[in-house]
């Protein structure tokens, strides 16, 4: 598939995804975890576009949602997939709980005692019984960016694992304590912290069973990382294999549980590229700037997490000459950059660049800052290229706003 042709047909900035790549990543999970009963619940927040959810739903995947809006997306794609959906998040509202109770989701991952009480109340009111897992905080340190580390006592997520038994005991008759869940963070590259967290969860499951709870699910969360640096070796299959070998023995030893997995980034990040055209090349003092038509409103990861993304010219390039430049967008913020002091092939206005590995936490974090309409998204599969989200228009942006305020009454 020619990216230059896609960019000409649909304009830039443009997100392009490979469906085959996403499904091959899902397949790696299926193979690696074949030894235990398991369900992959794709973390919708990584990329929630309906076309992508549909791709995973058709392969039998479940979903991990963190809001009523994400649950509505799953409902819009496949009503039956709701039975394979878990609901995480520390701030569920009564309305979101009602939506999930009525839809009949697989499990609520409960993150506080207050939430447990409210959920029991809502379930009683709707005459439902909600399957719950407490999201425990295992106090495990995982090496990652501080904004996406979540598994330590001082983080806002989950319930201290040492208090979990007491909280499970308080689940009334409208709650069915069916699982234990954990999620220690994102972009975690080593299998070791996952294993350590799973061990702590398994010990808790043994205690809970002794207390009389029929625990059938262990939700190991998501967080498996990828390699964004093209100069470093990365074997995705091997990464999943190591991850599975940290979790599978723990689950096997427990017995009688289905392992729930919530990968987001790992399934979609490397299937996506953000295409952008060079607008200008300029020099300020000694610094070179390549100004492109995508900006931080399209992809905020470099500004938010100091994330590294490889940037490559799509065309044949103009020989071996290179420059060192900042690749920046048109937004009026110094933080609006995709790369700093990056060695790049020499590029000229009009050339197309691809910002790689942007399938996860790219479009979902896009905004309309500077009144920039959000990019279009194209999904490529065996049958061709499909627009799964059209480019936003200025009219879309203005539609929710009031145009005319009443004038002040004349004196
Ligand atoms: C964000 C999140 C995930 C997915 O994390 P990835 O790093 O994208 O795999 C899974 N579960 C929960 C509860 C999350 O908050």
CATH number of the CATH domain containing 94: 3.20.20.10
- E strand residue ranges, 329-396: 337-345, 352-356, 376-381, 384-389
Q: Clarify whether residues 176 and 194 are in a common domain.
A: yes
Q: Clarify whether residues 68 and 125 are in a common domain.
A: yes
Name the domain boundary from 215, 238, 266.
266
Ligand 1: which of 183, 185, 226, 301 to mutate, judged by most atoms within 8 Å of the beta carbon?
Answer: 183
Catalytic member of 154, 212, 320, 332: 332
Q: Clarify whether residues 260 and 274 are in a common domain.
A: no
**pLDDT > 70? residue 187:** yes
The pLDDT confidence band at residue 151, using thresholds 50, 70 and 90, is low
Ligand 1 atom nearest to CA at 262: 10
Structural domain span for residue 156: 19-266
Asked if residue 406 belongs to a domain, the reply is no
- C-alpha 196 to ligand 1 mean position (Å): 18
Mean pLDDT calculated for residue range 154-173: 90
Asked if residue 68 belongs to a domain, the reply is yes
Q: Clarify whether residues 223 and 327 are in a common domain.
A: no
* Chain mean position to CA 350: 32
Q: Clarify whether residues 365 and 235 are in a common domain.
A: no
Mean pLDDT calculated for residue range 58-68: 98
> How many distinct structural domains can be found in the chain?
2
The pLDDT confidence band at residue 102, using thresholds 50, 70 and 90, is very high
Name the domain boundary from 238, 266, 294.
266
Q: Clarify whether residues 297 and 242 are in a common domain.
A: no
- C-alpha 306 to ligand 1 mean position (Å): 19
Which run of H or E residues covers position 206?
helix 192-210
Q: Tell me the pTM.
A: 0.96
Q: Clarify whether residues 278 and 366 are in a common domain.
A: yes
Ligand 1 pocket, Cβ-based, cut-off 6 angstroms: 43, 45-46, 64, 66, 88, 183, 186-187, 221-224, 262-266, 360
Name the domain boundary from 266, 292, 322.
266
Asked if residue 219 belongs to a domain, the reply is yes
Contacts of residue 160, defined as CB under 8 A and 6 or more positions apart, other chains included, come to 136, 137, 139, 153
Per-residue pLDDT of 320-361, as tens digits, reads: 899 999 999 999 998 999 999 999 999 999 999 999 999 999
**pLDDT > 70? residue 146:** yes
Residue of 366, 263, 301 whose CA lies nearest to 145:
301
- C-alpha 263 to ligand 1 mean position (Å): 6
Q: Clarify whether residues 153 and 195 are in a common domain.
A: yes
**Residue bearing tokens 């996952």:** 194
Asked if residue 297 belongs to a domain, the reply is yes
Per-residue pLDDT of 240-265, as tens digits, reads: 999 999 999 999 999 999 999 999 99
Asked if residue 9 belongs to a domain, the reply is no
- C-alpha 185 to ligand 1 mean position (Å): 7
Whole-number Å distance between alpha carbons of 154 and 321: 49
| 366: its two tokens | 């896009």
Question: Is-catalytic flag, 41?
Answer: no
Q: Clarify whether residues 104 and 205 are in a common domain.
A: yes
């Amino acid at each position: 598939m020619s990216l230059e042709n896609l960019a000409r047909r649909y304009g830039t900035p443009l997100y392009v995804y490979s469906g085959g790549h996403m499904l091959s990543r899902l397949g790696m999970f299926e193979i690696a975890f074949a030894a235990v009963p398991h369900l992959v619940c794709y973390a919708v927040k990584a990329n929630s576009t309906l076309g992508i959810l549909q791709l995973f739903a058709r392969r039998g995947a479940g979903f991990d949602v963190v809001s009523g809006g994400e649950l509505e997306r799953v409902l819009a794609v496949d009503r039956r997939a709701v039975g394979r959906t878990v609901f995480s998040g520390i701030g569920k509202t009564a309305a979101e709980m009602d939506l999930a109770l009525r839809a009949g989701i697989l499990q609520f991952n409960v993150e506080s005692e207050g939430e447990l009480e409210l959920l029991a109340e809502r379930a009683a009111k709707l005459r439902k019984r909600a399957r719950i897992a407490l999201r425990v905080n295992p106090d495990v340190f995982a090496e990652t960016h501080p904004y996406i580390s979540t598994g330590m006592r001082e983080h806002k997520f989950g319930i201290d694992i040492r208090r979990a038994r007491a909280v499970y005991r308080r689940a009334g008759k409208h709650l069915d304590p069916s699982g234990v869940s954990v999620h220690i963070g994102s972009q975690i590259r080593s299998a070791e912290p996952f294993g350590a967290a799973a061990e702590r969860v398994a010990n808790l499951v043994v205690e809970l069973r002794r207390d009389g709870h029929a625990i059938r699910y262990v939700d190991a969360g998501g967080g498996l990382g990828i390699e964004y640096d093209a100069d470093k070796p990365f074997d995705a299959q091997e990464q999943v294999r190591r991850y599975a070998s940290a979790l599978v023995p723990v689950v096997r030893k427990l017995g009688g549980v289905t392992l729930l997995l919530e990968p987001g980034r790992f399934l979609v990040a490397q299937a996506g590229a953000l295409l952008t055209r060079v607008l200008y090349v300029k020099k300020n003092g000694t610094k070179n700037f390549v100004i492109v038509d995508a900006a931080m409103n399209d992809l905020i990861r470099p500004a938010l997490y100091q994330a590294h993304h490889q940037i490559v010219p799509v065309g044949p390039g103009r020989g071996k000459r290179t420059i060192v430049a900042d690749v920046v967008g048109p937004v009026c913020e110094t933080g609006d950059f995709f790369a700093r002091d990056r060695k790049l092939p020499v590029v000229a206005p009009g050339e197309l660049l691809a910002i790689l590995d942007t399938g996860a936490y790219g479009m979902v974090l896009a905004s309309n800052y500077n009144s920039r309409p959000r990019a279009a998204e194209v999904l490529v599969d065996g049958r061709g290229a499909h627009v799964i989200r059209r480019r936003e228009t200025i009219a879309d942006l203005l539609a929710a706003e009031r145009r005319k305020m009443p004038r002040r009454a004349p004196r």
